[in-house]
Amino acid sequence: MAAAYDMAVSSVGIEKGGGAPVVAVENIRKSFGNSRILNGINLTVNCGETLAVLGRSGTGKSVLLRLIIGLEKPDSGSIWIHGQEIVGLALDQLGAIRIKMGFLFQHAALYDSLTVAENVAFPLDHHRRDMSISERSDRVRQLLAEVGMEGHLDKMPSDISGGMQKRVGLARALALEPEILLLDEPTAGLDPISSGEIDDLVLKLQRERQMASIVVTHDLHSAKTIANRLAILNEGDVVIEGKFEDLQQSEIEFVKEFLKQS
């Protein structure tokens, strides 16, 4: 398995000696019915790095994240997390990988029958039974304080705004101290001020925790703010990948048009 991983890493162009990527996606294809969404995607993310995946609506950005966390299975290709291939793993085996990952859903996906504090405590209640109840409670307060939601412990998700739900969703995603953070449209539907606050929060967390992150967004401003590298998807392929300056210098028509319209 290690030899196959090394081959996959070299095939997607990682420099030798640069450190193995934490997430490696190799030649991923995915269709829904007759519609081909991803057409042989290759991407890597290293420790401490943030990759922003941009593109038009419906180009498969969210599908890519769902494939990486294992909520969807690719039609072909490989996905490696910390050197382990996850395609084809059973649900419980996948669980051991997912514990190292945090996922923020586009609409936060908070459990609507639980309070804000109970939502954040949910992963801890299941995976950190070694912690006492008071330790878990302190951890929940700490996480909510990090995202600026410490005054809303007992509120229900329906009682808070969309931006606040995303903050709580982010706190929940960080509960198990993940090494990899996946963010699906973290600023979608938010006003510019709230978007800025989410971006600042993500940057702060990145500085403090040095996670590998993949952010799916259509917001170029947000991507420029929080990401080290950007990748643009179009019609199932990665059209360009690199720093924002590389994108600005690109001669590809679609990239120029995308940057102009954003």
Partner 1 sequence: MSSGFPNVAGVSPPLPERRTELVATAASFTARLMNDTFEWFGNLGIFFWQVLRAAITPPYEWRELIRQLDEVGSKSLPLVALAGAAVGAVLSMESRSSLTRFGAKSMLPSAVVYSVIMEMGPIITGLVVCGRVGAGIGAELASMKVTEQIDAIEASAINPYRLLAATRVLACVLMLPLLTVAADACGVVAGWIAQTLVEPISLQHFIDQGFKSSTLHDLLPPTFKTAVFGFIIGLIACFQGMRTLGGAEGVGRAATNSVVLASLFVILADVVLVKFILVVFP
Q: Which residues make up the interface to partner 1 (CB under 8 A)?
A: 66, 69-71, 91-92, 94-96, 98-99, 101, 103, 105, 107, 109-112, 122-123, 126-127, 172, 176
Q: Is 38 helix (H, G, I), strand (E, B) or coil?
A: strand
Pick the closer one to partner 1 by CB: 103 or 258: 103
- Cβ neighbour number for residue 90 with a 10 Å cutoff: 7
Closest approach of partner 1 to the CB of residue 157, in Å: 10
- Closest distance of CB 159 from partner 1, Å: 16
Which residue lies nearer to partner 1 by CB, 42 or 62? 62
Instruction: Name the residue nearer to partner 1 (CB basis): 28 or 69.
Output: 69
Closer residue to partner 1, CB minimum distance, 147 or 220: 147
Nearest approach, Cβ of 75 to partner 1 (angstroms)?
A: 20
Q: At 134, is the secondary structure helix, strand, or coil?
A: helix
Residue 13 CB, nearest approach to partner 1 (Å): 29
Question: Please, which residues have CB within 8 angstroms of residue 48's CB and are 6 or more apart in sequence?
Answer: 206, 210, 211, 212
Backbone dihedral angles phi then psi of residue 49, each to the nearest 5 degrees: -105, 150
Radius of gyration over every alpha carbon of the chain, rounded to an integer in angstroms: 18
Q: Which is nearer to partner 1, 47 or 109 (CB)?
A: 109
CA–CA dist 172, 140 (Å, integer): 9
Min dist CB 128 to partner 1, Å, is 12
Of the pair 47, 114, the CB lying nearest partner 1 is at 114
Tell me, rounded to whole angstroms, the distance of Cα 91 from its chain centroid: 20
- Report the length, in residues, of the chain: 262
Q: Which residues contact 151 (CB under 8 A, 6 or more apart)?
A: none
Interior angle at CA 169, CA 168 and CA 173, nearest 5: 115
| Non-local CB neighbours of 187 within 8 Å, separated by 6+ positions | 194, 195, 198, 199, 217, 219, 222
CB-wise, 181 or 255, nearer to partner 1?
Answer: 181
* Residue 107 CB, nearest approach to partner 1 (Å): 7
Phi (first) and psi of residue 235, to 5 degrees: 50, 45
Shortest distance, position 41 Cβ to partner 1, whole Å = 20
